[in-house]
């Protein structure tokens, strides 16, 4: 009886242990494990525990696996975009602002108003002109601009600029997330207060949450993280669309820009592009019967997962496979990156994706 009791007790303890292991696996990586990955990426980062908690909570709230792969993907993008800074520094911000002021208007009266306001004093006692040199980040830029345009004398400047701060600074935070993306994303991060989207993006948790959402929360069939990283930089499905363009260029034997856009965009509206025209020409050359209205509808889905299942995509895939024995699902888009924020020149989406992929590989090799 004693023996049976001891055996039952042993089995009970074993079950407790196994259930605990199972629970830990369901929870994924611990905060401490993610913190080790953060420190491996950036050994001198401030508050690695806070970053680790933000990454872990964001993955959980987004319904993403809290595993090494997904944590490393987020960490690699943060490192590339900001080196783990909630408000990334940018030494070029003063020059960006000066150029915007110089180009604000050819109207002499408006320029005089601007110059008058620049010589007035801000809340810190310095003139607005003097404060330009102290602008080190997007956040500094935003605070300066909001104060500068708050006085009645500078109200006309907003009209002349034809922009407010939401147009001048469009990406924010540690993962440089589009403000518009965050505003339209249906989920909200927990424990970030009740500020505006812009204010939330400047927080550690807010920047990580919305950046992780943009990076991970969409359906795709990529077999390599570099395509996900390229999409983060160039827009979702840009790598898949560039794969379509690559197939088109080869079978049509003509140059097609691998820009990841199947349509051109004018004032936000998609219109037929060079890729579209090349595809129509190919169908005619191959004597393939087609409905051009259907092709327009297919191309209009280029920003969605469904585009890969359209008649246009499947037809090109069939033509390509018949000639080359396989299809191309994705390639890295060849897009030059132009932004006044960039100090370096000749940066491309391919460069961005490969840089982040290198960081990702290093992260995955880290023992935790």
In this structure, the dihedral spanned by the alpha carbons of residues 163, 169, 170 and 173, taken in order and rounded to 10 degrees, is: -160
3-class DSSP assignment, residue 184 = helix
What pLDDT shows up at residue 116?
A: 86
Q: What's the average pLDDT block by block, 10 residues per block, for the chain (368 residues)?
A: 50 48 64 98 97 99 98 99 92 82 72 86 92 89 84 61 66 95 97 92 98 99 98 98 98 96 88 96 97 97 98 98 98 84 73 98 97
- Separation CA 211–CA 137 (nearest Å): 19
The domain boundary, picked from 171, 189, 211, lies at 171
In this structure, is residue 36 part of a structural domain? Answer: no
Phi first, then psi: what are they for 178, rounded to 5°? -60, 130
In this structure, is residue 199 part of a structural domain? Answer: no
| 172: nearest Cα among 341, 354, 337, 46 | 341
- Separation CA 180–CA 108 (nearest Å): 34
Q: What is the span of the domain harbouring residue 108? A: 93-171
In this structure, is residue 293 part of a structural domain? Answer: yes
User: 231 and 165 share a domain?
Assistant: no
What pLDDT shows up at residue 207?
A: 98
What pLDDT shows up at residue 341?
A: 56
In this structure, is residue 38 part of a structural domain? Answer: no
The total number of structural domains that make up the chain: 2
What pLDDT shows up at residue 223?
A: 97
- Separation CA 263–CA 246 (nearest Å): 15
User: 166 and 101 share a domain?
Assistant: yes
In this structure, is residue 331 part of a structural domain? Answer: no
- Separation CA 160–CA 353 (nearest Å): 38
In this structure, is residue 9 part of a structural domain? Answer: no
What pLDDT shows up at residue 151?
A: 72
* pTM (2 d.p.): 0.84
What pLDDT shows up at residue 153?
A: 62
| 97: nearest Cα among 48, 60, 45, 132 | 132
User: 314 and 252 share a domain?
Assistant: yes
| Whether the Cβ atoms of residue 153 and residue 115 lie closer than 8 Å to each other | no
Query: Per the structure block, which two tokens stand in for 191?
Result: 């424990």
């Amino acid at each position: 009886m004693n023996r049976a009791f001891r055996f039952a007790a042993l089995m009970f303890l074993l079950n407790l242990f196994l259930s605990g292991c199972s629970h830990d696996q369901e929870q994924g990586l611990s905060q401490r494990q993610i913190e080790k990955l953060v420190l491996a990426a950036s050994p001198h980062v401030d508050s690695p525990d806070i970053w680790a908690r933000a990454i872990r909570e964001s993955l959980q709230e987004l319904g993403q696996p809290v595993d090494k792969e997904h944590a490393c993907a987020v960490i690699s993008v943060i490192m590339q975009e900001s080196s783990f800074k909630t408000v990334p520094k940018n030494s070029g911000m003063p020059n960006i602002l000066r150029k915007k002021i110089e180009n604000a208007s050819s109207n002499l009266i408006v320029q005089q108003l601007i110059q008058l306001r620049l010589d007035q004093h801000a809340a810190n006692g310095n003139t607005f002109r003097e404060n330009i040199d102290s602008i080190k980040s997007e956040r500094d830029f935003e605070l300066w601009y909001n104060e500068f345009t708050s006085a009645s004398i500078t109200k006309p400047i907003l009209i002349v600029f034809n922009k407010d701060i939401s147009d001048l600074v469009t990406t924010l935070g540690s993962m440089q997330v589009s403000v518009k993306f965050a505003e339209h994303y249906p989920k909200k991060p927990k424990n970030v207060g009740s500020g505006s989207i812009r204010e939330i993006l400047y927080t550690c948790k807010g920047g990580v949450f919305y950046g992780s959402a943009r990076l991970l929360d969409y359906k795709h069939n990529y077999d390599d993280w570099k395509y996900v990283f390229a999409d983060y930089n160039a827009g979702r499905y840009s790598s898949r669309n560039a794969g379509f363009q690559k197939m088109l260029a080869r079978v049509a034997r003509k140059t097609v820009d691998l820009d990841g856009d199947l349509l051109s965009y004018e004032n936000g509206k998609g219109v037929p592009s060079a890729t579209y025209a090349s595809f129509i020409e190919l169908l005619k050359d191959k004597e393939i019967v087609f409905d051009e209205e259907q092709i327009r509808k297919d191309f209009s889905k280029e920003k969605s997962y469904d585009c890969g299942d359209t008649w246009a995509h499947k037809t090109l895939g069939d033509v390509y496979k018949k000639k080359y024995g396989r299809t191309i699902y994705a390639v890295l888009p060849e897009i030059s990156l132009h932004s006044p924020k960039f100090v370096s020149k000749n940066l491309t989406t391919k460069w961005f994706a490969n840089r982040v992929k290198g960081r990702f590989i290093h992260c995955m090799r880290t023992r935790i």
